[in-house]
Chains A and B, each alone.
Chain A
Amino acid sequence: MADAHKLEIFRGLLKFKSNTQKIWGILIFLTIVTAVEVALGITKPKALTGTTFLGMKILNWIFIILTLVKAYYIAWDFMHLRDEKSALRRAIVWTPIFLVAYLIFILLFEADYIYNVFKDGFVTWNF
């Protein structure tokens, strides 16, 4: 297993000759994604901050998606999940995803409810 690295990323679009080469390739990719994030964060294009989707700015959705993309490549290529058996991979990935998605869902809904109570529930807090 240790020597059998899978050297394809982007579903086989990009094939590397060696594991070392793949590592540098991933670094370049992660750097580009981070640079895009920082550039968007500094310029904050009006087109992306003005429109919302599911109550959140499009720009923030882009940030979150890019973060998940980065997390995927760190886990898959740096932590070698790509080379592990799929059972191990699924156990590691889907357990937190399920729990965290549930946690985020209940907490953000509750927070939004409290926000509304503060806003129109005759509660003075901003004074």
Chain B
Amino acid sequence: MDSTITTAAEENTWGGGNRPLGASYGKLMMWFFLVSDALTFSGFLAAYGFSRFKFIETWPIADEVFTHVPFFHGNYPMYYVAFMTFILIMSSVTMVLAVDAGHRMKKNSVIWYMFLTIIGGAIFVGSQAWEWATFINGDYGAVETKGGRILQFVKADTGERAALNDFAKTIPGDRVAHENKNGIWFYDEGYRPSYTVNEVIEGFKTNSNIVVRTETINAEGEKMVLSRQESLSKLQSAVQVVEGANLIHNEYGSRLFADFFFFITGFHGFHVFSGVLINLIIFFNVALGTYEKRGHYEMVEKVGLYWHFVDLVWVFVFTFFYLV
């Protein structure tokens, strides 16, 4: 029988040193990590989809949330995110060029391309930070109802959004600050919005051009705007003024939107940040000639895989957060 005969080839099959997938150990491990990380991100995005489908009629419209571009005033939905996407794809390109130069053992090209990749990554992380800051600071302000829903304000004649300080009345009043020395149990005052609910409602009453916009999305895919009368009765259930967004309150609409925004873009931003750090380490190794001595630039290829993966994830985050 054939199986009883030990051939040299068979010995090689079980003797180790085989590469059935034609990839080195390090590269395979990087792929293992990337697949598991892809599953993590998919879990987050699927959870986002879950919450969104649960509140499909009241979910915030991304175009109306992310409308800012640094150094420019006005309403520019998506342009900045599109720019960020392009930056990340561009840095992916310089990374793959670095890998290509590494294959051809061109040390100086690798250095340059790695450098450009790091710059691209830094620009992206910076943009992300700016995006967060803008989101946290907020735009127009809104009020939150007893049920935790958000009521925004629009101008009745133009349909444009109205900021709270466009119409809210300033009612002078004495406010006794609770001080440390007076309390048995003292809580810091914390964050206070610029107006009280009462000031917003009074301002609303005197300003006939302001109406309330609810979270509900109508058949045209736009947020529902109430009449003056409905607005006023809706405002009776307002309990607090919300400016900006955090994990508990969100002036743009559903608070889950802010939670997922912070969590998913934060997790991705953390990946980009660590990617930049790893790229930096490899950059210095290349510059010191470590891989030149080793005879191959596979390390650049491995961090390259990670870097492209970060780009790949962003493509999905971009779609599901900003486009869909």
A residues contacting B by CB (< 8 A) are: 1-3, 19-20, 23-24, 26-27, 30-31, 34-35, 37-38, 41-42, 44, 49, 60, 63-64, 66-67, 70-71, 74-75, 77-80, 84-85, 87-88, 91-92, 95-96, 99-100, 103-104, 107-108, 110-112, 114-115, 118, 124-127
Contact = CB atoms under 8 A, between A and B. Distances in A.
Contact of A70 (B52, B55, B149, B315): B315
Interface stretch (B37-45, B197-205, B266-274): B37-45
A23 B46 contact: no
A20 to B, nearest CB: 6
B77 A42 contact: yes
Contact of A75 (B82, B90, B312): B312
Contacts, number: 143
A78 B307 CA distance: 10
B51 A111 contact: yes
Interface of B: 20-23, 28, 31, 34-35, 38-39, 42-43, 46-47, 49-58, 63, 77-79, 82, 85-86, 89-90, 92-93, 95-97, 99-100, 103, 145-147, 149, 215-216, 221, 237, 301, 304-305, 308-309, 311-312, 315-316, 318-319, 322-324
Contacts of B324: 60, 63-64
Contact of B52 (A38, A49, A100, A111): A111
Given A104-B46, A111-B52, A41 B322 contact: yes
Contact of B315 (A49, A67, A92, A118): A67
Main secondary structure of the interface of B (DSSP, over half): helix
Given A96-B35, A100-B46, A126 B308 contact: no
Given A34-B86, A110-B50, A125 B323 contact: no
Given A31-B86, A87-B20, A108-B49, A74 B311 contact: yes
A80 B302 CA distance: 11
Given A41-B322, A84-B22, A126-B149, A108 B53 contact: yes
B22 to A, nearest CB: 5
Nearest to B104: A3
Given A66-B319, A71-B312, A100-B39, 19 more contacts: A23-B96, A38-B79, A42-B77, A67-B315, A67-B319, A78-B304, A78-B308, A79-B308, A79-B312, A85-B23, A88-B21, A108-B46, A110-B50, A111-B53, A112-B53, A115-B55, A124-B147, A126-B215, A126-B216
